[in-house]
Amino acid sequence: MKAFTSLIAASILAVALPGKIPAVLGQGTTSAPVQSRPIEPEEFLRLAYSSASLQGQAAKLAASRETRPEVKAYATAASDFRAGLLQRIEAFAKDRSMPLPSVKEFEHQVIIENLEPLDYLALSRRYAEIQVQAIEQELKIYQAASQSPRQEIKSFAEQILPELQRQQEGAQKMYEAVRP
């Protein structure tokens, strides 16, 4: 389980902050923390959109299956949040004539494919792990964007950050309820 968790963290880090990936040392440990770096607007939109898509798809999957009640409740609310966030990202990009990716990052697609065959407790635990890690990485993306010299990107990121922090709190509570 810890090796899979490390794989998820490494793949999310690879997507979130290419070039700043810590080496996975095994058993869930990593080297030094990822350093924050400036993020270009196109990169921010690509990563934010892919992350929201990943989490939206994972939430729909967890909410539609037989999972622990804590997971089902969180996943149902997260599915709604992610649908709204995706709409906001799409509108933001459209208003500025900025492109969005047509497909999810490869690593995000692999995470979904590995989640699909699971059920009940295994799905509950894996979904909770993915959410805790994905939101942590998503917060790093938005924090980097909140430091952007482009005011429109900075304002958008600052608007979303408190909402993501609430999602993180909920994900942590869900994880605590189902962790081994």
Q: Is residue 8 part of a domain?
A: no
- pLDDT-derived band at 83 (thresholds 50, 70, 90) equals very high
CATH of the domain at 155: 1.20.1260.10
Average pLDDT of the segment spanning 62-77: 96
Reply yes or no on whether the pLDDT at 15 is more than 80: no
Residue 116 lies in a domain: yes
Tens of pLDDT along 18-29?
443 232 223 333
**Residue 57: half-sphere exposure toward Cβ, Cα within 13 Å:** 17
Report, in angstroms and rounded to the nearest whole number, the Rg of the chain calculated over CA atoms: 16
Contact 45, 51 (CB under 8 A): no
Which of 18-32, 42-56, 159-173 has the lowest average pLDDT?
18-32
The pLDDT of residue 30: 36
**Residue 177 burial (CB count, 10 A):** 14
Angle at 142 between CA 138 and CA 147, to 5 degrees: 150
Instruction: Report yes or no on 27 lying in a domain.
Output: no
Confidence of residue 4 (pLDDT cuts 50, 70, 90): very low
- The pLDDT, as a whole number, for residue 63 is 97
Give the mean pLDDT of 119-140: 96
Looking at residue 27, what is its pLDDT? 32
- pLDDT at residue 34 in the model: 45
| Residue 151 falls inside a structural domain | yes
What are 178's two structure tokens? 């189902």
How far is the CA of 56 from the CAs of 24, 28, 71, in angstroms?
Answer: 26, 25, 14
pLDDT in tens, 106-117: 888 899 999 999
Give residue-wise pLDDT tens across range 34-48. 445 678 999 999 999
Bridging pattern class, strands 29-30 and 24-26: antiparallel
Report the pLDDT value the prediction gives residue 61, as an integer from 0 to 100: 96
Query: Across the chain, what does the average pLDDT equal?
Result: 84
Average pLDDT over residues 123-147: 97
Number of domains in the chain: 1
* Residue 36: per-residue pLDDT: 58
Which residue's structure tokens are 């892919």?
50
Q: How far apart are CA 128 and CA 13, in angstroms?
A: 17
pLDDT band at 162, cuts 50/70/90? very high
Q: Is 120 inside any structural domain?
A: yes
Whether 35 maps to a domain, the answer reads: no
